[in-house]
Structures are given as structure tokens and as C-alpha cells.
Structure 1
């Protein structure tokens, strides 16, 4: 009977350890095991696809062997004290205490501690045996599953997902801290989750910051505005900004001017497109789907009173997932690139406030948001590649243009030569 008791305790330890190992196994690590084609990893994943079945199997096995251990332990103690005139009730009490302590130490605490600390190894070792046990206990497992589901419905308990959004975000953070996740990829994954919960008013350009154009504005006047606000699209209005009549694309106008198919005396109304209005409380993910489906590049947001609340572009929505992007979908990997000592290459879309953080350069406030706007302000005309000017002791040179748009600028710090007397 001693051998039977030991076997029962070992089987109990197996079920307890298996439960702890499977439930503590990180899904990210399991995915890596599958990717590395580790034997048994796919079987673990299949068992975890139905956690209620896995738990029913483990609990059924554990209860059976624990009951067996208690019965064997009781019979063993009674047989030992049989000739000592000790009442059976006392023998049963002693047996209960001894078996409970043995189960607690050797079948619960020790195996679960080992399993949690070595979840991958334990799960891989246990998966085949556990799979066979699940077939053996199939009738019991099926019955427990049905009872569990019926009870859940009676109490209004809904099935929970195996992995919650919070768990995935915590896992991403953990992998990033120990160097197993690329920071850019981790940040993008976090943005994807945030993307589905964010409303438009949280990321829009508010009404007070909108650069809108009167529809009677000539192209010559528009170019003056565009020098300081190099946006890709603008809303246009008649009389008042609350009366938005449409939108225009800067690309259409600049292309027409460069190809000389239009003149500067034309008005922006000639390039007017349909204005797409949506409520500011709409989800970012919903608008993103609509804009891609219908081909809209800009949307105007209306508040609860029907007034203009702000605007948002497809580019801005993309930035919510991938970070800073360039003109309509071109990713800007590095806005500021250091070419050498005191020499920097900047993307034209680099924001003014970002420059002072990297380069020891002070750019005065003005009616511009980007470095391209600052360059246009100083040159006073649409530049060509090679055009340059000095600001403080820095030389600004245009290195790349796209039509009339400034793509790249090189900034070089020059030496200050002092007169020696």
C-alpha cells in the first residue's frame, strides 16, 4: 500500500504541475517554440485552444488520484494502528492529517513551484501524457464542460478570451525590457490596440489650428499661404470658416503651375473637391476604413451642434499606427540625419520644435511649422536644388526637390572667424 500511496502522490504532483505549467506559459514564448519547430509545442497550443477542456482534464485526474491517496492513506494508517487498541475514528483523523500534509507539500507546493519556474520544459514533458489522459477521461471531461457552460449561462458569465488586450500589452512591454522585442515594432503594436479605442476628437487638428482658404483666393495668394503652411490639403470656405464648401489638394495646384496649365490669377475654387463631414465622436478605426474604401484623403469633423470641430487626414490616421509619415503614406524613417560633425540632413517636413532638440540651433517663431516653411520664408520664392542662405552661423542648402516641394535640406555649421589684433 505504501507503493500505491507514493504512486498516487506522484500522479497528483503530475496533474498539479501540468496545470501550473500550462497556465503560466507565456503565449509569446509558445509562439517562438512553434516557430523553432520544438517537438510538442504545437500540441501544447492545441490544448490551450480549449482551456476549459484542459482544466476539466487536470481537475478530473487530480480529484481521482487525491481521493485514491486519501483512501490508501487511511487504510494504511488503520492497518498500522489495528493492534494498538486505537479507535478507527482516531486512525482516520491521523490518516487525514498525514495525507493532507503530504498532498500539500509533495503534490501541490513543490510541483507547482517547479512548474511555474520551468513552464516551458514541464509543459513539453507533460503534453503527450496529458493528451492521452484527456482521451481516457473524455466522458468525465465532456460532462464537466457541459455543466460548466450551463452554470455559466445561469449566472450570466460570458466566455473570456484566452489572452486579453492588457495581457498582450504587458507581454510586449516585458519583451521590450529584456531586449527580445524591437522598440519600433513594439510601439507599432501598442498603437494598433490604441487605434481601435481612440475617437477622432482625441487626434484631430482642432478648429483653432485649421489653415483654411477662402474660395475666392487666387493661386498667387495661395502660394504665399503655402510657403508657411506646407500641408497637402486645405479646406476652403465661402465668407466664414463655418461655411466649408470643399477641400483642395496642394499637389493639384503646384503640378498645374509647374506644368503651366494654369496661371496664378486662377482661384482655388477651380480645384475644389467634395467636403467629407463626419462626427468628431466617431472612432479612428471606423473613419480609417471609410476613407480607404471611398478614397477620401481629408475629413472635416462636426461637433454636436453641427459646427466645425476640426479636421483629420488619412496621413494623420496612418500616423496613429506607424508613427510620423511623409506626404500621403511615405514613411519618414529619420527626419534628422547626422552626416558628420556639425552637418545634418533634414526632411522638409521636420517640425521646428523637433530641430532644437537635436541641433543647437534657434529658429525664431513665425508663420511656419516645418523647416521647409522656414526655408521658403527666408528665400521668398519657390527654390531650386542648390539654393542656400545663412541663418546665424548655419548654412541652409536645398538638396532635394519634388516639383515645387522641398524634400531635403542640408544644414551645416560654419566656423566663426574672429579678427585678431
Structure 2
């Protein structure tokens, strides 16, 4: 009876050490840090143990091997008499002793595998942080108690690792791919709502998108000429109610400064004519190169504390204008819909009307297209069409890519205003002619 109790105690200790090993190894540092920040000292202890796990794992292996050896010795002595009696009921030949030993071996092994290994490890894998926080204190005490043996085996292990030039500690570097994988798992499980998932995904895209995907393009910039009369100024404000306007001398490439529309409205409310005075014009302007990513642009806005920036290319030519609102909208996506500014309008289940300046990354998400050819050469859908055709498109020119047809339906001079994107039901053969290219 005492031997059976001893086996039970060994199984319990085996389960404890197995749970400790798996839970501390599988605990996620991100979740542990959150728990530690909330005042959980045990979570902080697990983090410290993960940073230097050598002594802990040495202790675990010493304990598990000792339990396995003791379990085999005690188990054979304890169960063999019982298995001998069972075997004697059906067989009493020369192999009875060997059969009894085999049955006792299988029984004790099965007990240890099931209750000291599989079940505790499954539990530890299901909730690693919670289990690790409960056992870390006891494991530190046992590690300290076995310090001589732990130091001996740990030093030999470290020596082998140095010989083979392998890292001594684990480096937990959380990459973008890791976070995206966690987001996907959260969305699939339902713990992350669709809007939250979309917003987080858009934030990660800030590093992959440049300013031209969010800015107002050069031809759409509304500005005041220094010589504009009251009627012209008033008409521009009524038609384009922006907060700030550029002030130029003759054309857009001769920028004088900027003016807030409320200063002109103040003149009108006083019954005066709208006119541009030197005291109203802000001459210090904020410029950004078009090669900046949206993330870099946000950082620049944070430093400059300006409401908008003029976007210039490498030749110092103005190519667009971007506001902080534009950058915020770029990662808010569909969560904020501004009426009248939709760049993509769905006609039916298989076709969309798309503005030519729509960023390619937005089309990739909408159509679930993984890649566009040489997408580092252009930013917009119109740019994709021009790049693929190798010329300026005309109406009805189209490109087929990845099961979708991209057709120019509205071309104003050299500007592709609008395209029709259609999902094709059949695979189209790649052909080329004078006016159409299918790729």
C-alpha cells in the first residue's frame, strides 16, 4: 500500500514538473508583460525566468529523470505481485514471470504517460501564462535547492553551446508577421472585431504606402492668386470650403504662402470685400518629399505642428498637398466614409467604377489580389494602366490581370479619370494588339 502511495506521489510530482516545463516555455512575453504591468509579480517572475532559462531547464530534467527512474524501480516491485496473480489465473507456464513483468511495466508506463505527461502538458498548453504564474515560485525554490547539480549540468550545456557557436539565451523579437498572425487568429476566433482587425491592418500598411497614395494631386489643388479679386476669392471658398488655401503669384510653382479661410470669412462678415492682405498670408510653409511613407509623414506632422504640407518631387516641383486628415483617413479606411469622396463605387457583384488616382493597395484589398506586376513603379490604378500599356491610355483601352479587367472609360486629356474594373468568369488568353493589352 505504501508503494502504491509512492507511485501516486511520483506521478503528481512528474505532472507538476511537466506542466512547469511546458507552461514556462510556451508563455507569451506580450501577455506576461501586460500581466506584470497590471501588478502581477508572478508574471514578472516568469519573465525573468524566461530571460535566463538554463538553470530552470537543468533542474526540470534532473527532476523528471529522477522521477522516471524511481517510478520504474518502485513500480516494478509494487505491481509485479499483483500482475503475477492475474497471470496465474489464466497461465502458469515457464513464461509467467516474464509476462507478469511485462504487464507491470506496461501498467506503470501507461500511468506515467497519461497522468504525469500527456494530461498536464495539455493543460499547460491550453493556459500557459496562468499555469506558469502559479508554479514559478515553487520552481525557483527547487532550482535553488538543487543548485550544485544544476550548476554542473548547466555549465556543461553552456560549454557545448559555445563550442557550436549557438545562442545562449532566447531572443524574442516580435515581427510584423507575428502580429499579423495574432490578428488573423483573433479575427478567426471572434475576439477581435472586424472593424478592429481592419484598423490594425491599415496601421501596418502605413509603412508600405507613400504620400502620393493619400495626397490631393497637383491638378486638384485649389489656390488663390495674389491678384484674385473679391468675387473670385469668394467663389473659390464657396465651391471648395477648405480651412487653408495656398496663395500663389501667377501659377502653382510660385507659392507665396497660405491663408486661413476664416480670415477671409471674417472680412465678409464685416461687410468688407474679400482681399488678400500681406498680414493674412503665412509665409512659413511645410514641405514634404513625395518619397516619404505615410508613417514617416505622420511623424513629420507631429514635429512640425502644421495643418497641411506641400508635397514636392526630386525636382522641387509641387506634385500635391496633404493634410493630417488625409493621413488619418488613409488608415481609418471604411470606418470613416466621407460622402462624395468615394473612389470606388460598386456597380454590381462583379464590377466597380474606380477613380484613376485610387491607390493600388486599396484595390489589392478590395479584389483580394496578392500582387500587381512591378508595383514599385506606380502608386495608383491609372499608373498601373499606363505602366502596363507603356503609353497613355485611350478610352476602352484595358488590361487583364489576375482574373480582373481594368478598362479606361473616362480619359480627360492625359489624365485617366475613371476605370471600370470587372471580374472575369473565364481565364483570358494573353494577347497584344495596337489598342488593347491583356496580361
Structure 1 residue 166 corresponds to structure 2 residue 180: yes
The aligned residue for residue 276 of structure 1 is 286
In structure 1, the residue corresponding to 2:139 is in which secondary structure?
Answer: helix
1:47 Cα deviation after fit? 1.3
TM-score, structure 1 length as denominator?
Answer: 0.56
The aligned residue for residue 231 of structure 2 is 220
In structure 2, the residue corresponding to 1:292 is in which secondary structure?
Answer: helix
In structure 2, the residue corresponding to 1:352 is in which secondary structure?
Answer: coil
Structure 1 residue 252 corresponds to structure 2 residue 263: yes
What are the within-5 Å matches in structure 2 for residues 9-408 of structure 1?
Answer: 9-22=11-24, 23=26, 31=34, 41-48=40-47, 50-53=49-52, 55-56=53-54, 58-76=56-74, 102-119=111-128, 122-136=131-145, 140=150, 154=166, 159-161=171-173, 164-166=178-180, 169-170=183-184, 173=187, 177-178=190-191, 193-195=204-206, 198-259=209-270, 263-266=273-276, 271-319=281-329, 351-352=339-340
Counterpart contact for 1:253–1:271, Cα < 8 Å: no
Counterpart contact for 2:307–2:324, Cα < 8 Å: yes
> Aligned in 2, Cα 1:100/1:77: closer, same or farther, shift over 3 Å?
closer
In structure 1, the residue corresponding to 2:283 is in which secondary structure?
Answer: coil
- After superposition, the C-alpha distances for 1:149-187 in whole angstroms (9 at most, x for unaligned) are 968975799822368533664576478x34xx7887777
> Aligned in 2, Cα 1:157/1:116: closer, same or farther, shift over 3 Å?
closer
- After superposition, the C-alpha distances for 1:48-74 in whole angstroms (9 at most, x for unaligned) are 355243x54553333112211343345
* Structure 2 gap ranges (5+): 81-92, 346-439
Partner Cα distance (1:312, 1:98) in 2: 74
In structure 2, the residue corresponding to 1:17 is in which secondary structure?
Answer: helix
In structure 1, the residue corresponding to 2:227 is in which secondary structure?
Answer: coil
TM-score, structure 2 length as denominator?
Answer: 0.55
Partner Cα distance (1:15, 1:292) in 2: 51
1:111 Cα deviation after fit? 0.9
Partner Cα distance (1:28, 1:304) in 2: 45
- After superposition, the C-alpha distances for 1:195-248 in whole angstroms (9 at most, x for unaligned) are 566532332223343333434323431221121211212334444434444333
Counterpart contact for 2:161–2:167, Cα < 8 Å: no
In structure 1, the residue corresponding to 2:325 is in which secondary structure?
Answer: helix
Counterpart contact for 2:49–2:56, Cα < 8 Å: no
> Aligned in 2, Cα 1:352/1:290: closer, same or farther, shift over 3 Å?
closer
Partner Cα distance (1:259, 1:148) in 2: 85
* Structure 1 gap ranges (5+): 325-332, 336-349, 358-421
Partner Cα distance (2:235, 2:147) in 1: 78
- After superposition, the C-alpha distances for 1:254-289 in whole angstroms (9 at most, x for unaligned) are 2344356x6324479962533322222223333333
Counterpart contact for 1:297–1:314, Cα < 8 Å: yes
> Aligned in 2, Cα 1:130/1:119: closer, same or farther, shift over 3 Å?
same
> Aligned in 2, Cα 1:120/1:194: closer, same or farther, shift over 3 Å?
same
Counterpart contact for 2:158–2:168, Cα < 8 Å: no
